[in-house]
Amino acid sequence: MVKKLPIGVLVSGGGSNLQSLIDHIDQGTLNAEIRIVLSNNPDAFALERCRKHGIPTAVVDHREFSSRERFDGRMVEILNAAGVELVVMAGFMRILSPEFFQAFPMRIMNIHPALLPAFPGTHVQRKAVDYGVKFSGCTVHFADEGVDSGPIVIQAVVPVYEDDDAEILAARILKEEHRIYPQAIQYYAEGRIRIEGRKVHIRQPLPEAVAKETGSASPPVPVPPRSSD
Ligand code: GAR
Span 57-83, pLDDT tens digits:
999 999 999 999 999 999 999 999 999
Arithmetic mean of pLDDT over the chain: 93
Give a yes or no: residue 227 inside a domain. no
Domain co-membership, 137 together with 199: yes
Q: What is the 89 CA–ligand 1 centroid distance (Å)?
A: 9
CATH number of domain containing 192: 3.40.50.170
Domain co-membership, 79 together with 179: no
Residue 157's DSSP bridge partners are 137
Kindly state if the Cβ of 14 falls inside 6 Å of ligand 1.
yes
Give a yes or no: residue 10 inside a domain. yes
Kindly state if the Cβ of 200 falls inside 6 Å of ligand 1.
no
Given 52, 85, 105, the domain boundary residue is: 105
Residue owning the nearest CA to atom 1 of ligand 1: 91
Q: Residue 101: give the domain boundaries.
A: 1-105
- Among the atoms of ligand 1, which is closest to the Cα of residue 148? 14
Q: What is the 113 CA–ligand 1 centroid distance (Å)?
A: 7
Q: H-helix or E-strand containing 74?
A: helix 68-81
Domain co-membership, 5 together with 53: yes
Instruction: Name the 3-class secondary structure at 223.
Output: coil
Given 87, 105, 123, the domain boundary residue is: 105
Domain co-membership, 25 together with 96: yes
Q: What angle do CA 146, 148, 150 make, to 5 degrees?
A: 70
Task: Provide the number of structural domains found in the chain.
Answer: 2
Domain co-membership, 126 together with 79: no
Domain co-membership, 5 together with 85: yes
Which residues are CB-contacts of 37 (< 8 A; sequence separation ≥ 6)? Answer: 8, 9, 10, 11, 18, 46, 47, 50, 55, 56, 57, 58
Kindly state if the Cβ of 220 falls inside 6 Å of ligand 1.
no
Domain co-membership, 96 together with 114: no
How would residue 220 be classed by pLDDT, with cut points 50, 70 and 90? Answer: very low
Query: Residue 186: how many CB atoms within 10 A of its CB?
Result: 20
Give a yes or no: residue 221 inside a domain. no
Is residue 112 annotated as a catalytic residue, yes or no? yes
Domain co-membership, 1 together with 22: yes
Q: Which of 24, 62, 112, 178 is catalytic?
A: 112
Kindly state if the Cβ of 19 falls inside 6 Å of ligand 1.
no
Render pLDDT for 13-66 as a digit per residue (tens, 0 to 9).
999 999 999 999 999 999 999 999 999 999 999 999 999 999 999 999 999 999
Given 90, 105, 120, the domain boundary residue is: 105
